[in-house]
Amino acid sequence: MLCLDTISDRPGHFDKLFRTCHAIAQLPEDCLDITIDFHDCKFLGHTGVAFLGGLAHLIQARGGQVNFNWDSLCPNIRMNLAQNGFLHHFGYGSSPWDGNSIPYRCDLQHDATALGDYLRYKWLGKGWVNISSGLQAAIAGRVSEIYLNAFDHSQSEIGVFSCGQHYPSLGMLHLTVIDFGIGLPTSVRSLPQNASFTTEEALFWAFQSGNTTKQNDISRGLGLNLLQEFVTKNHGNLMVFSSNGYVAIDDNGVRYENKDINFSGTLVNIALRCDEQYYCLASEVPPIEEPLF
């Protein structure tokens, strides 16, 4: 049995998720009949929702069985999981509905149109931020780079998972995107010239303009530098966890840290301020170099 603890967007709570993933990865395949219990979970944030969905699919991909003890959910978490579609995705409860949640998604392959609609209308287009449609498209284009990066570089066999939340009391709008692939540092080190990079050096390289791990005629970069530039201009924050590395981008600058816990995939959490005073004019956002939708 897996007893899920309270999960918010604090770095220490991310570590809980990574430890859980690591523990499950060590189990032999004949021990992968796992029941997830929520008795100890008093709050399950959007990051926990996206991660839990991906973890369930990972277990199933290894031939295991996942059972959710839905009766152990506290009422507020049950309501949120119903609203964002997590319950419906796993065959429980009614269809999701509009609210403060940005729907849970599981994408097995890249669909630019579907993801563009998700980002523009399910995340940015609900009136939580008072910005023009042009700026919505520009922001969505930056965040689409996260998905493109995951599908292009992660080698994840189970797809990409995402979920978000509007937190009115905090004036923040969040979105988390997770893959369970090889991780950014491993992908960066796949290039011979980067083979000796530490995790911190590999993550720093991934955020530089124009750098890409593609080894063919496609020259598009990882795109993380564009997202970093937007978050910096708009006083939001960005967290990236991959391998044993952690990148935090906020008003205090950019920090690269090594973590004790190793997560082989990549987790990206972006938070935007809902107050329009933090949003630059659309003309100030760097142009998108190629169509993303």
Domains of the chain: 2-91+101-279 (3.30.565.10)
Query: Taking all residues of the chain, what is their mean pLDDT, rounded to a whole number?
Result: 84
How many angstroms separate the CA atoms of 170 and 214, rounded? 39
From CA 146, how far away is CA 227, in angstroms rounded? 9
- Candidate ranges 1-10, 97-106, 210-219; pick with highest mean pLDDT: 97-106
Confidence of residue 29 (pLDDT cuts 50, 70, 90): confident
pLDDT tens digits, residue range 57-101? Answer: 999 988 889 999 999 999 999 999 999 999 999 999 778 888 899
DSSP state of 280: P
CA-CA distance, 255 to 200, in Å (whole number)?
A: 10
Q: Which helix (H) or strand (E) holds 111?
A: none
Starting at the edge strand that comes first in sequence, how are the strands of the sheet with 33-37 ordered?
2-3, 33-37, 65-68
User: pLDDT by residue (tens digit) across 177-227?
Assistant: 999 998 888 888 988 999 999 898 888 888 887 677 665 544 444 557 777
pLDDT at 159 over 70: yes
Who contacts 264 (Cβ-Cβ below 8 Å, separation ≥6)?
25, 180, 181, 182, 183, 186, 243
Q: Ramachandran region of residue 107, left (φ > 0), alpha (ψ -120 to 50) or beta?
A: beta
Confidence of residue 283 (pLDDT cuts 50, 70, 90): very low
> Please, are residues 238 and 249 in contact by the beta-carbon 8 Å criterion?
yes
